[in-house]
């Protein structure tokens, strides 16, 4: 797995992260331990370091992952 960004905050509809690499719609996102935390449902912002909206996987509490790195 490769480190791709960081989870910045959580909204009522999912989490918002900032990626260091080009994301893809529907791409699965993982935490440091390799557990799938969700999928990318939106991409926005600057091309070099885009923001992504992540729809959490069932049972995942994104609040506990704020400030941590994301992997793909």
CATH code (residue 65): 2.40.10.230
Count of the separate structural domains present in the chain: 1
**pLDDT at position 54, please?**
98
- 19 forms bridges with which residues in the sheet? 5
Contact 19, 50 (CB under 8 A): yes
Render pLDDT for 8-49 as a digit per residue (tens, 0 to 9): 999 998 999 999 999 999 999 999 999 999 999 999 999 999
For residue 45, the enclosing domain spans: 3-71
pLDDT band at 68 (very low <50, low <70, confident <90, very high): very high
Contacts of 12 (CB under 8 A, 6+ apart): none
């Amino acid at each position: 797995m490769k480190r791709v960004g960081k989870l910045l905050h959580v909204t009522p509809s999912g989490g918002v992260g900032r990626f260091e690499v080009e994301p893809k719609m529907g791409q699965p996102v993982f935490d440091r331990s390799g557990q799938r935390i969700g999928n990318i449902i939106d991409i926005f912002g600057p091309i070099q370091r885009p923001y992504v909206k992540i729809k959490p996987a069932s049972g995942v509490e994104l609040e506990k992952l704020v400030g941590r790195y994301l992997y793909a």
